[in-house]
Amino acid sequence: MSACVPTRHNRTSRSSRPPRASGVKRPHSPPPPRGGRFRIAGADVSASITVFLLAVPMSLGLAVAMDAPLQAGLISAAIGGIVAGLLGGTPLQVSGPSAGLTVVTAELIQVYGWRTTCAITIGAGLLQILLGSLRAARSALAVSPAIVHGTLAGIGVAIALAQLHIVLGGSPQSSAVANALALPDQLGRLNPAAPLIGVLTITVLVLWPRIPGRIGTGARRVPAALAAVVTATTVAALAAPGIARVDLPSWRAHVLPEMPHGPALALATAVFTVMLVASLESLLAAMAVDKLSAAPSHSPSARTSAAPSPPAASPASLGVPASPGSPTTPTSQTPPSPPPSASPSPPSPPTAPAPPVRRADLDRELRAQGIANTLSGLVGGLAVSGGAVRSSANVRAGAQGRASTVLHGVWVLLATGLLVTVLEWIPLAALAALVMMVGIQMVSLAHIRNVHKHREFLVYGATITGVVLFGVLKGVTIGIAVAVAVALHRLARTRITVTDQGGEHLVVVRGQLTFLAVPRLSRTLGQLPQGGNAVVELDGFFMDHAAYEAIQDWSNAQAAHGGRIVFTGRSGGRIAEPASAAHSCCRPWTPWRNHHCHDEPGRTPEAGHGPGTPFTDARPVTDPIGSPHDMPHDALTPTPAPASTPGSAPSPDVAPGRAPAPSLHRSPARSAGPPAEATRPAGGNRLISGLSSFQRNTAPLVREELARLAAEGQRPSQLFITCADSRLVTSMITASGPGDLFTVRNIGNLVPLPNAESGDDSVGAAIEYAVDVLKVESITICGHSGCGAMQALLGAKPDPQAPPTSLWRWLRHGLPSLERMASRHHAWARISGRLPTDALEQLCLTNVVQQLDHLRAHESVARRLAEGTLRLHGMYFHVGEAQAYLLTEGASSGLELDEVFDRVGPGDPAGPGELERAGV
């Protein structure tokens, strides 16, 4: 590892760690004690009822699927809600019977009986408590996502096959393979009543969240699972009175665990399997809830500043969601209400800032799950785990704390004693259809696409196959073995080809350069003529020391004989930098997140390890190759360099006919450290240190390009009009450099109408100069999230008796945007397939569209548009997501705007075709 890793030493220095009493939280540390009573908010009560209505049919269905006593499902739901809710490290996570353990528990009950299965659950809970006390929760997430999702998908396939037999009126077999083989015979002796009830249940599950209009908005307050079970129960009571139903035996017949009987190794394996699956499911669900509760639409501030929207219960919310590690998106959104008039509303009273969203404490969560499992096993309940579905419903219902989770468990406990007669009307086919949908949704197409994109589908497929054919533990073992084999194959597979390109040789190295590839690499390079010119294209992300020295020695030998060696990445751009800048910890072309590293007191560049550095963060220059330590296999990822703009000369360092160089940046984990604000100098010192850093590190690399621009004059291709907000770094978000953009910044990215009363000539002058003198090819108006100017327009109005301030005189140019948003004659602007999250985001988007209309009113712009030599673009930048959106064209005629801002992805093209698509 290079000695020059920014702020690396601050992570391990004992003196730099914040004391526990300082209030500074480490990632995933337990929330600080608040001190006080257990508080129950009104939102928690309503959310607990919503989750209760979803949990009861789910718990009964999972108990049926496991062939366990039906009371066991309700017991585990109550204990999971109350115990895990009170003690867990994820306050909004709801725990209950584990869907991921359906197949495992069913097999354990068949082999050992119910009482021994309860004892196995106790053992798994004790093991979870031990691992949580050893702070091993984070290590559980080190398993490859392909293996985790493959395991859940395999369990989902087994669940679906087993429950399909119950839906068809039969009984499930002992394994997934046996269930698949028995399906033809089951179809041959079909009883129509149960399949019809199952189809009805699935139909309601699918269509309930899609009911349109106000009726649908009200209907979605009821979970789809509850609506489906109630509908199926009602129809079965009227049309099929003889169908098999839930049979809750008397509590007097309820059995408790016993000392386990059987081979010790087999019992230990069972305990480990239950612990592994339950822990992974709980921890992944905790991470999903963490992300969902941190989302803007579900944050405490969003929930308190707007009327709570009804929870949208969808089929995706019935089982393990598509991504246990990612939040479930609501199926519908209520658009923010526009202001009742064009005039700004009176200022609202100040509100206290919302508390920061607490991150999950995974070790505490694992201990709580262990305690819940231990208690559940002791009283004869199913194994407990956190459920992403119940938890996401809890968050969407507006829960504010753990009170909703605990109350949901209390309601389940009361229902267990008071609603026995009602529950016994539920048909088994309806519960089986509900659980079958859970299993189907555990096989996520999003996960399949993701693992295929990362070339891990073989691991995913092997895990699914192993789980279905041999069981969970063996399937996980098979997945791990295949993952290791694939990793070794990729590490050892290196292809080296040589092409003669008329006096210059192109050497292409595909794969990772390890000591295993050194013999072939040395043999190939030794066959090239001494003193010849060569381009070496290194298409890989890892180079060990042996490969580095082999290439370095060959490069030095070629240079000594007068040869010229150029090292490139896959795109052909050169990837080296001069020795003087090779190991400066504040490299001038590094990612922007390191832009304050020169502010640390006592910071001095550290010595390098060689004459230069390949695969570094610098812009390509002349040195051939350097130390391999700047290319750690787990910390560098390529990003394409910005394409050259019209009117700018190509970089002299890029070989003719080749694309610009890729830049390689460090992962955030390798540059983590204390916040820059903790050590950043203030006032003039900060300015002086920044200027000094520029002169020391950046000026030597840009001096030649700036000298060319000074001699030739500026020839920018774009006029970029954006807000003066300090968080918008235009050169960073557009990947542009000196001479590319002619930028105009003002409060609110406003374009005053020409000849308007109390207009502003500075913006009009800049537009006229850019269009008529600089002959720019496009103009972009860029708004952004959280714009203070738009917030001022929404929430404040000056006193008519007081003289208008300069700020308000300027903000009056934004009043047409406010009127446009309130008008019924204009469609709501949308962003990437969704409506804006609130009125502020709506106004920010609408303002971009309105300012484009103002821009067309300028004579010079209108003339160039008529000539077809100028393009206009609308852009929105979400600061918190670091995501850019472009305004798209509407109908093919181009006369009407669709007012949709499409997300710009990292792989989207950047050529003229893309500009045509995004043009307005």
Banded pLDDT at 876 (limits 50, 70, 90): very high
Banded pLDDT at 758 (limits 50, 70, 90): low
727, 809, 856, 863: the catalytic one is: 727
CA-derived radius of gyration, the chain: 32
Q: Phi/psi of residue 719, each to 5°?
A: -100, 125
What pLDDT does 174 receive? 74
Banded pLDDT at 28 (limits 50, 70, 90): very low
3-class secondary-structure state, position 384: strand
**118 an active-site residue?**
no
Taking each helix axis from N to C end, the angle separating 145-167 and 428-441, rounded to the nearest 10 degrees, works out to: 160
* pLDDT tens, residue by residue, 569-578: 765 545 443 3
* pLDDT tens, residue by residue, 144-163: 778 888 888 888 888 888 88
278 pLDDT more than 70: yes
- What residues form DSSP beta bridges with 96? 385
Mean pLDDT score, 434-443: 84
- More confident of the two residues 714 and 347: 714
383 and 272 Cβ atoms separated by less than 8 Å = no
* pLDDT tens, residue by residue, 48-82: 888 887 888 888 888 888 888 888 889 999 999 99
What pLDDT does 196 receive? 92
**787 an active-site residue?**
yes
725, 844, 873, 902: the catalytic one is: 725
4, 118, 585, 723: the catalytic one is: 723
Q: In the structure encoding, which two tokens stand for residue 88, read together?
A: 């867990």
Task: Please tell me the distance from the alpha carbon of residue 66 to that of residue 60, in angstroms, as a whole number.
Answer: 10
Mean pLDDT score, 27-35: 44
N-to-C CA span, the chain: 49
Banded pLDDT at 275 (limits 50, 70, 90): very high
670, 784, 813, 864: the catalytic one is: 784
707 pLDDT more than 60: yes
- More confident of the two residues 175 and 769: 769
> What burial letters (b/e) apply to 473-490, b meaning 16+ CB within 10 Å?
bebbebbbebbeebeeee
Closest by CA to 590, choosing from 634, 627, 636, is 636
Neighbours of 916 (CB within 10 A): 10
**784 an active-site residue?**
yes
> Which of 89-98, 375-384, 658-667 is predicted least confidently?
658-667
DSSP H or E stretch at residue 430: helix 428-441
What pLDDT does 262 receive? 80
Estimate to the nearest angstrom the gap between the alpha carbon of 680 and the chain centroid.
Answer: 30
* pLDDT tens, residue by residue, 179-191: 888 888 888 887 7
Side-chain half-sphere CA neighbours of 181 within 13 A: 7
What pLDDT does 120 receive? 94
Task: Please tell me the distance from the alpha carbon of residue 187 to that of residue 181, in angstroms, as a whole number.
Answer: 11
Share of the chain above pLDDT 70, in %: 71
- More confident of the two residues 56 and 38: 56
Helices and strands counted in the chain (H then E): 35, 15
- More confident of the two residues 570 and 446: 446
What pLDDT does 38 receive? 61
Task: Please tell me the distance from the alpha carbon of residue 410 to that of residue 404, in angstroms, as a whole number.
Answer: 10
DSSP strand E in 640-777: where? 663-666, 718-723, 741-746
Mean pLDDT score, 451-478: 87
> What burial letters (b/e) apply to 498-534, b meaning 16+ CB within 10 Å?
eeeeeeebbbbbebbbbebbbeebbebbeebeeebbb
> Which of 51-55, 265-269, 620-624, 857-861 is predicted least confidently?
620-624
Q: In the structure encoding, which two tokens stand for residue 397, read together?
A: 């219902």
Estimate to the nearest angstrom the gap between the alpha carbon of 323 and the chain centroid.
Answer: 10
- Which residue shows structure tokens 């020409």? 754
Contacts of 494 (CB under 8 A, 6+ apart): 509, 510, 511, 512, 513, 514, 516, 517, 520, 521, 540
The answer to whether the predicted template modeling score (pTM) of the entire model surpasses 0.75 is no
> What burial letters (b/e) apply to 867-902, b meaning 16+ CB within 10 Å?
eeebbbbbbbbbeeeebbbbbbbeeeeeeebebbbb
197 pLDDT more than 60: yes
Task: Please tell me the distance from the alpha carbon of residue 552 to that of residue 610, in angstroms, as a whole number.
Answer: 10
DSSP strand E in 801-843: where? 830-831
679 pLDDT more than 80: no
> Which of 23-32, 388-397, 594-603 is predicted least confidently?
23-32
* pLDDT tens, residue by residue, 380-410: 999 999 877 788 778 877 888 889 999 989 9
Closest by CA to 181, choosing from 205, 204, 165, 200, is 165
421 and 135 Cβ atoms separated by less than 8 Å = no
Closest by CA to 793, choosing from 781, 777, 779, 810, is 810
Task: Please tell me the distance from the alpha carbon of residue 21 to that of residue 214, in angstroms, as a whole number.
Answer: 51
* DSSP-derived pairing of the beta strands 565-568 and 636-639: unpaired
Share of the chain above pLDDT 90, in %: 20
Estimate to the nearest angstrom the gap between the alpha carbon of 444 and the chain centroid.
Answer: 16
What pLDDT does 288 receive? 73
SS3 content of the chain, % helix, strand, coil (to 5): 50, 10, 40
- More confident of the two residues 538 and 32: 538
What pLDDT does 256 receive? 78
898 and 889 Cβ atoms separated by less than 8 Å = yes
Sign of CA dihedral 425, 428, 433, 436: positive
Estimate to the nearest angstrom the gap between the alpha carbon of 302 and the chain centroid.
Answer: 19
- More confident of the two residues 350 and 53: 53
- More confident of the two residues 156 and 869: 869
What pLDDT does 43 receive? 81
What pLDDT does 553 receive? 87
Mean pLDDT score, 33-55: 73
- What residues form DSSP beta bridges with 386? 95
What pLDDT does 37 receive? 54
Question: Average per-residue pLDDT in the chain?
Answer: 74
422 pLDDT more than 80: yes
**447 an active-site residue?**
no
31 pLDDT more than 80: no
326 pLDDT more than 70: no
Taking each helix axis from N to C end, the angle separating 788-795 and 839-856, rounded to the nearest 10 degrees, works out to: 110
Mean pLDDT score, 190-202: 89
What pLDDT does 757 receive? 60
> Which of 198-212, 241-255, 533-547 is predicted least confidently?
241-255
**Could you give the C-alpha distances from 258 to 10, 118, 138, 208, 255, in angstroms and in order?**
53, 8, 33, 44, 9
Q: In the structure encoding, which two tokens stand for residue 306, read together?
A: 């707007």
What pLDDT does 519 receive? 86
4, 597, 782, 787: the catalytic one is: 787
Closest by CA to 10, choosing from 744, 528, 547, 670, is 670
Neighbours of 463 (CB within 10 A): 30
What pLDDT does 490 receive? 77
**725 an active-site residue?**
yes
State the amino acid at position 302 in one-letter form: A
Banded pLDDT at 759 (limits 50, 70, 90): low
Banded pLDDT at 548 (limits 50, 70, 90): confident
Banded pLDDT at 771 (limits 50, 70, 90): very high
Closest by CA to 257, choosing from 382, 377, 104, is 377
Task: Please tell me the distance from the alpha carbon of residue 446 to that of residue 153, in angstroms, as a whole number.
Answer: 12
Mean pLDDT score, 238-246: 85
What pLDDT does 709 receive? 87
Task: Please tell me the distance from the alpha carbon of residue 503 to that of residue 604, in angstroms, as a whole number.
Answer: 44
Closest by CA to 611, choosing from 555, 537, 528, 538, is 555
Under DSSP, the state recorded for 592 is G
Counting Cβ atoms within 10 Å, is residue 540 exposed (0-12), middle (13-18) or buried (19+)? buried
What pLDDT does 607 receive? 35
753 and 763 Cβ atoms separated by less than 8 Å = no
What pLDDT does 398 receive? 81
DSSP strand E in 21-120: where? 94-97
170 and 198 Cβ atoms separated by less than 8 Å = no
Closest by CA to 613, choosing from 552, 542, 662, is 552
What pLDDT does 664 receive? 32
Estimate to the nearest angstrom the gap between the alpha carbon of 838 and the chain centroid.
Answer: 21
Task: Please tell me the distance from the alpha carbon of residue 814 to that of residue 756, in angstroms, as a whole number.
Answer: 13
